[in-house]
A and B are shown apart, each in its own frame.
Chain A
Amino acid sequence: MENAADHVATLVALTLAAGTPLVFAALGELVTEKSGVLNLGVEGMMLVGAVVSFIVAATTRQPWLGALAGTAAGAVMAAIFGVLTLSLMANQVATGLALSLFGVGLSAFIGLGYVSVVIEGIKPLSLAGWSDFPILGKLFFGHSPFVYLSLLLCALVQGFLYRTRAGLVVRAVGESASAAHAIGYPVIAIRYGAVMFGGACAGLGGAYMAVAYTPLWTEGMTAGRGWIALALVVFATWKPPRVLAGAYLFGGVTLVQFQAQAMGVAVPSQLLAMLPYLATIVVLTLISRNVSMIRLNAPASLGQPFHPDT
């Protein structure tokens, strides 16, 4: 009995660990989209965050410093996107695609010398006495610090958007930029803030992967998680707590392939590896089917550039 419960606790821990990069990236993109900006560059920002955090962690031997650097790198990538779409009013879809393609290339380029480097990653918590407590210890006190950080971030984003005046302003800008502008809010500055917050979160998600989840760097290591995060925001109908549900669902799906292999299920690994992508398609389709719900929840000016003269 205890053995089975212990196994479940292990599965829960693995699911949380696998879902956490998606939590970071999707929460960041959610705030960006709430301000009315669609940034499709999440994959690129995650990869650059991952590679920068890994390089800094490898050279300074300070993985936390690496995570910080990865977060900053994500924000810098988002700033490029901001200059193009907010100051120069470039098409957001095209610019986001460009950011993703650029991030994939840039991270491969600067990370080349670090492909087989080994670093001391950030380990899961191990609180003396607490984490060793049977089952409950594993369930509550044995996760990576990033898992707790992501949960905290989710609460903060929810509180910010729906309990503070500043959050209300961000949402107003996303619903109607021209109305917010007419009242006197600095639409472009607010959007810069939201875009860079999104980039920082994506960078942090990438950093978690490179310095904690699997402490190594491989080209394209996020394997589409940035795109899945974009789908998650739609799945969550732009509500932070639902991001958690979606992210852990995908975390669980990612685990299936490893669990199945461990149990000796005779399905080829490549076919099992398709599952997260197929699940994304299915889930996105199911949620999008309800057009009125999407319309009700999507920020009304999502993806539209803003210029005061137009």
Chain B
Amino acid sequence: MRLKLELRPQPSRVMAWMSPLIAAAATLVAGFALFSLLGKDPLQALQVFFVKPVETRYGLGELLLKASPLMLCAIGLAAGYRANVWNIGAEGQLTLGAICGGGVALSFPGANSAWILLPMIVAGAAGGMAWASIPSWLKTRFNANEILTSLMLVYVATLFLSWLVQGPWRDPEGYNFPQSKIFPDAALLPILLSGTRLHAGFLISLAAIAIAWLFFARTLIGFRMQVAGLAPAAANYAGISAKRTVWFGMLIGGAAAGVAGVGEAAGPIGQLLPSVSPGYGFAAIIVAFVGRLHPVGIALASLLMSLLYLGGESAQISLALPSAVTGVFQGTLLFFLLAADVFINFRVALAPRNAPSSATAAGFASRA
């Protein structure tokens, strides 16, 4: 007898929700193995990685602080992914959002009313959308692959920000460091929880989750985008415009990432630096998948991903491990998720060794 994969008559709903949990558990096991390999006490290391960062009030604040941009970017990306629009340039759209929102803050150094935050957020969303509109236009007008163009624009955005803070926007009193002036106090997002860095951007992310839930489940355009993703041919036949789907998918992602960028610049950073994000835009891709492209799932997955960021920092301090271990964990989590997802559509069955069944099944089993 040997194992083979057999197509399920219907996709398993149970597995669809179980597989992120299985993936998280498998990542934990892989972490255990990795820490053992590195000669650390694995239980202590896992404690440092996953428990220690959230033991304090400050730590919990950090957890929500880092989850905010992840949640926001991921929910925007999910809108596109549900419609098979592959925007992977959220990192660049986030950067443009920070530039535009930060530009507003820097233009009004004497601002003394929190109303300045409104144009900052609008400018950030507009910046992200403008950046996302480039791949949309190239896709709808010239058929250029949005994966590659949106990704290329990440590099362009990062270089643009780097040029701004080293050139025209550099703080003249900043000892030649590549950084802008510090934003006026009124242009900083208010702190939600005293003694932490958690700011009002978290509320924006929560609102985005709620709006996205309504959008996906209750609006016609949300439904159309879902159809376009699940059955492009049917969508086309039903008269759903493929171009409009691309535009919506990309622009929602761009706006969300842009606002997340403002949240970083006007939140924990408080000015513009050559880099405003430790890869939130890329990690959000993983968050979107692990969260099943569903608003609630994304909210939970962003907490997990945030914990991976905090765990990496904690491991660097307490275990002298490089914080890049975070990236390894992020990738591993997505691998396990994709592997576990197989069991949504397939189940494992026992096949007799010399089954007289079709040659195709036997041929597959020998490789499975």
- A interface list, Cβ under 8 A from B: 40, 80, 83-84, 87-91, 93-95, 97-99, 101-106, 108-109, 112, 181, 186, 188-189, 219, 223-224, 227-228, 230-231, 234, 268, 270-271, 273-274, 277-278, 280-281, 284-286, 288-289, 291, 294, 307-310
Contacts and interface: CB of A to CB of B under 8 A. Distances in A.
A208 to B, nearest CB: 21
Contacts of A112: 322, 324
B147 A40 contact: yes
B326 A105 contact: yes
A81 to B, nearest CB: 9
B77 to A, nearest CB: 11
Contact of A90 (B147, B339, B368): B339
B144 interface: yes
Interface of B: 5-7, 86, 88, 134, 138, 142-145, 147-149, 151-153, 155-156, 159-160, 162-163, 166-167, 282-283, 285-286, 289, 322, 324-332, 334-335, 338-339, 341-342, 345-346, 358, 360-361, 363-364, 367-368
A91 B84 CA distance: 12
B147 A224 contact: no
B49 to A, nearest CB: 14
Contacts of A89: 5, 342, 345-346
A85 B327 CA distance: 21
Contact of A84 (B148, B152, B335, B346): B335
Contact of B151 (A94, A102, A227, A285): A227
A268 B163 contact: yes
A56 B186 CA distance: 53
A307 B7 CA distance: 9
A109 B322 contact: yes
A190 to B, nearest CB: 11
Contact of B156 (A87, A104, A108, A278): A278
B86 A101 contact: no
Name, among A94, A280, A289, the residue most crowded by chain B CB atoms within 10 Å (CB to CB).
Answer: A94
Contacts of A91: 338
Contacts of B162: 270
Given A102-B331, A280-B152, A285 B285 contact: no
B331 A103 contact: yes
Contact of B324 (A108, A188, A285, A309): A108
**CB-CB nearest 8 A-B residue pairs:** A105-B327, A102-B331, A308-B360, A270-B163, A108-B324, A98-B334, A90-B338, A109-B324
Contacts of A281: 134, 138, 144, 148-149, 152-153
A188 B364 contact: yes
B367 A189 contact: yes
A284 B364 contact: no
A101 B286 contact: yes
A310 to B, nearest CB: 6
Nearest to B332: A102
Given A87-B367, A270-B166, A309-B7, A97 B285 contact: yes
A270 B160 contact: yes
B80 to A, nearest CB: 12
Contact of B159 (A40, A84, A87, A271): A271
28 contacts: A80-B335, A93-B147, A101-B282, A101-B285, A101-B331, A105-B325, A105-B331, A106-B328, A106-B331, A109-B324, A109-B327, A109-B328, A181-B363, A224-B155, A227-B152, A270-B162, A271-B163, A273-B159, A280-B152, A281-B144, A284-B138, A289-B142, A307-B364, A308-B361, A309-B7, A309-B360, A309-B361, A310-B7
Name, among B152, B156, B289, B368, the residue most crowded by chain A CB atoms within 10 Å (CB to CB).
Answer: B152
Given A101-B330, A189-B367, A310-B7, A277 B153 contact: yes
B342 to A, nearest CB: 4
Name, among A101, A227, A234, A309, the residue most crowded by chain B CB atoms within 10 Å (CB to CB).
Answer: A101
Nearest to A310: B7
B322 A94 contact: no
Contacts of A181: 360, 363
A84 B339 contact: yes
Contact of B330 (A105, A274, A277, A289): A105
B39 to A, nearest CB: 14
Contacts of B330: 101-102, 105
Given A105-B325, A285-B149, 9 more contacts: A88-B339, A101-B330, A105-B330, A271-B163, A274-B160, A281-B148, A288-B138, A307-B346, A308-B364
Contacts of B346: 89, 307
A105 B363 CA distance: 36
Contacts of A307: 5, 7, 346, 364
